[in-house]
Structure 1
Amino acid sequence: MFRQVVTTDIRLIIRGLFILLTIIAVGVGIVEYQMATLTHRPEQEFLANSVVVTIANYLIPVPIKIETNFSRLEYWLTIWHQQFVDEAFSAKKAAGEYWRQVKPYIETALHTLRAKTWQTMQQMDEYIREYR
């Protein structure tokens, strides 16, 4: 009924638990940051900077608080966004100018098409009357 757990299965279970704990730690850190941002309260410091996990005589430090500096990335994303907005406005302006130039020709073509369609329908009505 009960079987002995194989070493590879133990490794797989330990790896899964380690990944789960890492995801939980990162999630808690993100939630704390968001709550501090939403409530405009300063972040609370932990008493320890990291937790040390010991598995089979291996010491694995797990950082509790990870600090990142995204100012350079934010700068480049802001520049990219502004370039995108500028290009979009210039494309809109060029498309509007192009439409102003092409609009009379399109209106003339549509007017001609309507007139020819009307003439064709009139001719078809005459042919139908002749054959009745």
Structure 2
Amino acid sequence: MLKTWPCMEDLLDELAIKAAQAKLEAKFSTIKEVQKIDDGLEYTVARTAYLRLTTNAMGRTNYNNKRLHNTCLLETQFFGRTKEEAEILKLLIGEVENSDAMTNMVPIVGMGNVGKMALGQ
């Protein structure tokens, strides 16, 4: 029996069919992913309504409730930290025994709004 070789047209048709199948599978996969995202968004909207959550009408970029920084000490006297004030002055002037550098740096740490900046000034 003689073996017949497929003609070029048959090979091209088969290749076109496989390409169309791959394109169709990719389309269905994309549709499925979009449907998953859509379902997730619908669930989020439903939960938002259920929990009675509201959106921020101002948005993050317009929110300006920040304390302004001021490097000027408004008061001429600083009350309540005389001991710490003296220690910082000693450190800065260099009267501490273990002072070793030309440049002194004194970290002042603590909770917010307790007067670190005022004490440093």
Q: Which has the higher strand share?
A: 1
TM-score, length basis structure 2: 0.34
Q: Which has the higher helix share?
A: 1
